[in-house]
Amino acid sequence: MPSIDMPLDQMRQYKPALYREADFEPYWDATIAEALKQPLNQELIPYDLPASALECFAVRFDGYKGGRLAGWYVRPSARGKFPAVCMYHGYSGRGTRLLEMVPYASQGFCVLSMDCRGQNGQSQDALVTPEGNQMGWMTKGIRDPKQYYYRYVYADAVRALEVLARREEVDENRIAITGGSQGGAITLAVAALSERPALALPDIPFLCDFRRAMNIACNGPYPEITHFLKQFPSLFDTAVRTLSYCDCMNLSPWITCKTIVSNSLWDDICPPSTVFAAYNHMTCEKRMEIYPYHKHELPYEHSEIKYRAVMETLAR
């Protein structure tokens, strides 16, 4: 199979050493404990969308350490306990919207999406960092792991999952999480940081194996880091240390739920070797769907694979 990266046989064996700091586990234990303790203050705002046997809502809840986050929610009109799906979106995008949730909702699922803070949705970013950053979000707070943007995004995403899991109509034991690119990274992170998911479906995930990705990815957000370091070369070690806390490769050994990862071998935004780096450290039930001629994209057939996995794993 072709690849813009390593040969496939080499990628299957690619398992770089984890580069966790000594306080990696306490860092995340404290962060998630804070995120779970903080009140959600969730609000469902009815949304008028003609959808037979479904109820649609705009969602609002408090972000980690401040700000108001937005999203969408659709549920069956019937009463009962339903399985659920939580969806996360790609870099600079916005949360999955209601009509895109209908295929799952129409099969008796509750479905929620989240807008990442400060990106192209309606979520506020209350994080104020003491110094500036390269355009985008990759270097916001990069001088300090406790101030790094993705620490807050991952904690927000765990809180979004709590919004869903704590709903009275949701069966908290039957929840899937999914997303592509940045959403794939968030899916991996939430699967590692929360015990809620029964199934994780990360697609062409971002934020894996930073040390390699920032040196070989020629398109997309990773170059934000290299552009920043051209301006601040003395901060290289500081930046890599901060990134290590949010590298999904370092988080992936904590994933315990069933996980299906997609990987495209011509992807020059999220290089396929970096996806393998995270995947090869997982010890959960897992499989990878490989698309040899796709770039940062997926074929229709993968949507069916995900749909079947959700139905087989969660539907009763």
Give me the sheet containing 68-76, strands edge to edge. Answer: 43-46, 54-62, 68-76, 110-114, 82-88, 170-180, 199-203, 258-264, 286-291
Angle 288-291-295 (CA atoms, 0-180°, nearest 5)?
120
Catalytic option among 113, 181, 262, 273 = 181
β-partners of residue 264 are: 291
Catalytic option among 5, 267, 281, 302 = 267
User: Is there a contact between 67 and 86 (Cβ–Cβ < 8 Å)?
Assistant: no
For the question of residue 267 being annotated catalytic, the response is: yes
Supply the residues annotated as catalytic: 181, 267, 296
